[in-house]
Chains A and B, each alone.
Chain A
Amino acid sequence: MTPGSLGLIAAFLVVVLVLVKPLGMYMAAVMEGRPIWPLRAGARLERLIYRLCGVDPGAPMGWKRYAIALLLFNALGALAVYAFQRMQSWLPLNPQQFANVSPDSSFNTAVSFVTNTNWQGYSGESTMSYLTQMVGLTVQNFLSAATGIVVAVALIRGFARHNAQSIGNFWVDITRTTLYILLPLSTVLAVVLAGQGVVQNFSAYKDVTTLEAVSFQQPKVDAAGGPLKDAAGNAVVESLTTQKQTLPMGPMASQEAIKELGTNGGGFLNANSAHPYENPTPLSNFLEMLALVLIPAALTYTFGQMVGDTRQGWAVLAAMAILFGALVTIAVHSEQLGNPRVAALGIDQTASGLQPGGNMEGKEARFGIGASALFATVTTGTSCGAVNSMHDSFTPLGGLVPLFNMQLGEVVFGGTGTGLYSMLIFAVIGVFIAGLMIGRTPEYLGKKIEAFEIKMSSIAILVMPFIVLLGTAIAVSVADGKAGVANPAAHGFSEILYAFTSAGNNNGSAFAGLSANTPFYNTILGLVMWLGRFWPIAAVLAIAGALAAKKRVPVTAGTMLTYGPTFIILLIGTVLLVGALTFVPALALGPVVEHLVMWGG
């Protein structure tokens, strides 16, 4: 690892840690409805919203009602995104006159954005109208992130309350999260990003006359749009020359900001945060990575404060940060080592004051190795899935890190809300295992962990590997699944495994060589995303409800401390054990084989 990469990672962690406490405190105040300034300023708007909705903001909800409200709200969102795509050619703000999106792609994208996955089967700049991007996709960037946060807060309330029937009011929670947390942060970040060069306008795409003309060949198409064949059955190719470059425009910065802050990851453009219009400078890159981790990291403090013991939050954050440090080191190191087959061609891959060196295939010159591998680790450890480099072209171990990061269940900071609640479920499992070892009834934060909580926790944790591995197995067994693979041998298997891992964990990044915009992949990945999102959420809300109803157990000399080094190690061990036991066989077939082949011969 170069000193520059090391410095970047260190600076990144320091800035995150500095921001955790202030933002965590603010979010706790918002979610507890304390009369801080923003809530007082927005009180009239809030009252108006609740009146129009016919909602009593003080009315408590049990976990079942909370869960139904959440599902209903998200299902509505999916319908709306589907409808906007299917009708975009008849709606305004479509300067490029894009056609309506196909049913299977629309379904996939609707599920994808509602579940906070933002897997993109489509290419943004040649598919979606500005209206679809804004009113369809940007809205779900906000609402899916808010959904994650409110589930985490509901679970926190489960620990914080006792003998209670309610875990909060879903309508109030979702409104406050959107208005007071996501909107202000996004507005500030969007304007700063626009200042760095992220496009923000409603102009039609702009044509420029390039310095040199480009000659290229392109297959000719017949009147129906199919490839034209000559008498021998070969595709007819025409040679063309152009001096025109068309630059995409649109309201990008406003979507970019919430794409990161909400760990969504769905880019306005196909190349996502690798595109210079989405991520123009090293500073914009730093801010985007920061935005990714900010809310998930700060929520640990919110958690600590709301359960009345901030050490509990710091312990969870420490476990996340240690896992992060290990994973990012492997990723940066592997990418910096480069590709021995490229070195064999007489290519200079050595880092120096003049070049980043390393494996530069699928990476941008302004980001080099450190900022690309760091971004890859951050975006897969959180459930974001935005990319500033192409993970498909990573070295085998460099690509294993993002894959394994997701397979751990998105807890290395994790998604907005999802990271915290998933980590707390691991903590419940951890204290249960520890309880078995020492022969005591497990407790966490003053609540007895009993059969119901463990059953629900097992569901929350095991749904993901179940659908990921089952989906992968189906895809590698059928022709439609194998047809999409772009790279030969073990790497092709990794592409499929990555796609299902990404969908099942609601990440959305890809080994993008896989041609996934087909009816088969659009449908099966859509289902995997939906189940991977809402099945665990239902289980988590059930746990929240059960915990809230329990009485608090007093702390005694025999109570296991759930902060301090022992607990942090227990938590890390639980995460690694579950993730590794489930996925090592699959990883051995993909990246591990590829690594051995690459360096062995």
Chain B
Amino acid sequence: MTSLLRPAIVLFLILTAITGIAYPLLVTGVAQAVFPSEAGGSLIAKEGKAVGSSLIGQSFSDPRHFWGRPSATAPQPYNGLASGGSNLGPLNPALTDGIKTRVEALRAADPTNKSPVPVDLVTASASGLDPDISLAAAYYQVPRVARERSLPPDAVRSLIAAHARGKVLGILGEPRVNVLDLNLALDALK
């Protein structure tokens, strides 16, 4: 037993130094040299000020903007310090109540829109920081955004199409659009 103690301690220290210090430092060095923006959080700067990350969603409730997915983070939605989902089970009444409330808010902001609401627009994401919505969820919001901004709906639609991302090779990813990108482009229109 005692003859095993020295190798156990020394080997643990050596492997800690290699995997816990040398390895993360090496990866940091390479990543910072080759992918400085990505390794730094993919931040978006506007007029020299960081306005967000292209990977992290933000909370939108202004009818002039596209809205993102509901976020279950606390205390405020899209809290970068408290990622997580709602963890509501499929039969939990709180799930259906929450969806009802969100549908009402969408209908209230756009009373003439009678099309069915795309599911991702009223269900909370896993991270609470989902940057994307499905293309269906984006097109659903076109009438409202166009009216609020006095833009022709086709102009808003083509803006979505310009920012849309689809499946790569037919299998990787889903049809979606980054809400922050889309809203920045919308704000830049005029």
Binds B, one of A308-316, A359-367, A436-444, A540-548: A359-367
Tell me which of B90, B168, B184 contacts A211 (CB under 8 A): B184
* A249 CB contacts on chain B under 8 angstroms: 40-41
Task: Confirm or deny: B122 has a beta carbon within 8 angstroms of a beta carbon on chain A.
Answer: yes
Q: How far is the CA of A281 from the CA of B78 in the complex (A)?
A: 19
Give the chain A neighbours of B49 by CB distance below 8 A.
209
> Known contacts A143-B19, A345-B100, A358-B119; is A271 also within 8 Å of B173 by CB?
no
When the two chains form their complex, are residues A138 and B20 in contact, meaning their CB atoms are under 8 A apart?
A: yes
A556 in the interface, Cβ–Cβ < 8 Å? Answer: no
Interface residues in B62-91 by Cβ distance below 8 A to A read 62, 65, 69, 75-91
Q: How far is the CB of A550 from chain B (nearest CB, A)?
A: 26
List A contacts of B86 (CB < 8 A): 361-362, 390, 393
Contact partner of A212 among B65, B84, B87, B95, CB < 8 A? B65
A197 and B42: CB pair below 8 A? Answer: yes
Bound state CA distance, A40 and B68, in angstroms? Answer: 54
A195 contact from B38, B65, B122, Cβ within 8 A = B38
The answer to whether A265 has its CB under 8 Å from any CB of chain B is: no
A347–B99 CB distance below 8 A: yes
A268 to B14, CA, bound (A): 23
Complex interface bits, B22-56 against A, C-beta within 8 A gives 1, otherwise 0: 01101110111011001111110000011111011
Decide: B62 and A201 in contact? CB cutoff 8 A: no
Separation of A68 and B1 alpha carbons in the complex (Å): 8
Q: Within the complex, what minimum Cβ distance (angstroms) separates A493 from chain B?
A: 11
On whether A339 and B130 interact (CB within 8 A), knowing A196-B38, A355-B119, the answer reads: no
A354 CA / B116 CA spacing, docked (Å)? 14
CB distance B35 to A77 under 8 Å?
no
Check if B137 is an interface residue, CB within 8 A of chain A. yes
User: Which chain A residue lies CB-closest to B115?
Assistant: A348
- CB neighbours (8 Å) of A271 from chain B are 83-85, 126-129
Q: Give bound CA distance, A69 to B55, whole Å.
A: 45
Given contacts A187-B27, A199-B40, contact A178 B174 (CB under 8 A): no
In the bound assembly, the distance between CA atoms of A242 and B39 in angstroms comes to 27
Q: Tell me the bound Cα distance from A392 to B26 in angstroms.
A: 37
Given contacts A206-B50, A214-B76, A338-B119, contact A512 B84 (CB under 8 A): yes
Quick one: given A347-B119, A364-B130, are A281 and B173 in contact (CB under 8 Å)?
yes
In the bound complex, residues from chain B placing their C-beta under 8 Å from that of A365 are: 69, 120, 125, 130, 132-134, 137, 174, 176
Q: Which of B76, B127, B135 contacts A364 (CB 8 A)?
A: B127
Interface size counted on chain A using CB atoms at 8 A: 138
One of B3-11, B141-149, B150-158 at the interface: B3-11
Among B9, B31, B90, B127: residue with most chain A CB under 10 A: B90
| Cβ of B103 under 8 Å from chain A | yes
Contact across chains for B21 and A135 when beta carbons are under 8 A apart: yes
| CB <8 Å contact, A4 and B96 | no
A341/B96 in contact, CB under 8 A: yes
Of chain B, the residue at the smallest CB distance from A218 is B75
CA distance A342 to B114 in the complex (A): 17
Q: How distant is the Cα of A197 from the Cα of B49 in the complex, in angstroms?
A: 20
Q: Measured between alpha carbons, how far is A394 from B85 in the docked complex, in Å? A: 12
Q: How many residues of B contact A (CB 8 A)?
A: 108
Assembled-state Cα–Cα distance A362/B85 (Å): 6
Cα(A596)–Cα(B179), bound, Å: 38
- List residues 445-499 of chain A with CB under 8 A from any CB of chain B: 486-489, 491, 494
Tell me how far the C-beta of A317 lies from the nearest C-beta in chain B, rounded to whole angstroms.
23
Q: Which residues of A contact B32 (CB under 8 A)?
A: 200-201
List the B residue with the shortest CB-CB distance to A249: B41
Residues in A with CB closer than 8 Å to B112 are: none
- B18 on interface, CB distance cutoff 8 Å: yes
Cβ A345 vs Cβ B5 within 8 A? no
- If the complex has contacts A72-B4, A123-B84, are A194 and B38 also in contact, measured as CB distance less than 8 A? yes
A251 to B175, alpha carbons, bound, how many Å?
Answer: 30
- Docked Cα-Cα span, A123 to B83, in Å, equals 8
Majority-rule SS of A interface residues: mixed
Contacts of A247 in B (CB 8 A): 41, 43, 53, 56, 80
CB distance from B37 to the nearest CB of A (A): 9
Measured between beta carbons, the chain A residues less than 8 angstroms from B38 are 194-198
A152 in the interface (beta carbon within 8 A): no
Q: Is B117 an interface residue (CB 8 A)?
A: yes
A269, B83: Cβ atoms closer than 8 Å: yes
Do residues A77 and B87 form an inter-chain contact, with CB atoms below 8 A? no
Chain B proximity of A459: nearest CB distance (Å): 23
- A56-105 contacts to B, CB under 8 A, are 65, 68-69, 72-73, 76-77, 80
How near does chain A come to B110, taking the closest CB pair, in angstroms? 15
In the assembled complex, A389 has its CB within 8 A of some CB on chain B: yes
Checking B53, B80, B126, B132 against A274 with a beta-carbon cut-off of 8 angstroms, the contacting residue is: B126
**Once the chains are docked, how many angstroms separate the CA of A85 from the CA of B57?**
31
Beyond A49-B14, A183-B19, A365-B134, whether A210 also contacts B59 by CB under 8 A is yes
Q: Are A126 and B88 in contact (CB under 8 A)?
A: no
Q: Specify which of A208, A253, A347 is in contact with B50 (CB 8 Å cutoff).
A: A208
- For A55, the chain B residues whose CB sits under 8 A away are 7, 11
- Select one of A136, A175, A182, A598 contacting B11, CB under 8 A: A175
Do A393 and B119 contact each other (CB < 8 Å), given the known contacts A53-B6, A345-B96? Answer: no
Chain B residues, Cβ within 8 Å of A282:
167-168, 172-174
Instruction: Report Cα–Cα, A356/B35, bound state, in Å.
Output: 31
- Residues in B neighbouring A356, C-beta threshold 8 A: 120, 134, 174-175
Verify if A357 is at the interface (C-beta below 8 Å from B): yes
With beta carbons under 8 angstroms apart, the residue of B7, B52, B170, B174 that contacts A69 is: B7
Given contacts A11-B171, A194-B38, are A139 and B96 in contact (CB under 8 A)?
Answer: no
* A7 interface residue (CB < 8 Å to B): yes
Q: Complex: how many Å from CA A324 to CA B25?
A: 37
A171 touches B53 (CB 8 A): no
Residues of A with C-beta under 8 A to B119: 338, 342, 347-349, 355, 357-360
**In the complex, which residue of chain A has the Cβ closest to the Cβ of B15?**
A178
User: A128 within 8 Å of B by Cβ?
Assistant: no
- A178 closest partner in B (C-beta): B15
- Measured CB to CB, the nearest residue on chain B to A257 is B27
Q: A191-B31, A355-B175, A364-B130 are in contact. List 14 more A-B contacts (CB 8 A).
A: A53-B11, A69-B4, A123-B84, A142-B19, A199-B39, A203-B40, A206-B43, A212-B59, A245-B79, A276-B129, A285-B172, A352-B136, A371-B172, A393-B90
A sample of 15 cross-chain residue pairs with beta-carbon separation below 8 angstroms, ordered by A number, consists of A4-B170, A125-B80, A143-B12, A183-B19, A200-B32, A211-B58, A277-B56, A280-B42, A348-B136, A362-B125, A362-B126, A366-B174, A389-B126, A488-B93, A512-B84
The list of the 7 closest CB pairs from A to B, nearest first, reads A282-B173, A513-B87, A274-B126, A271-B83, A355-B134, A194-B31, A491-B89
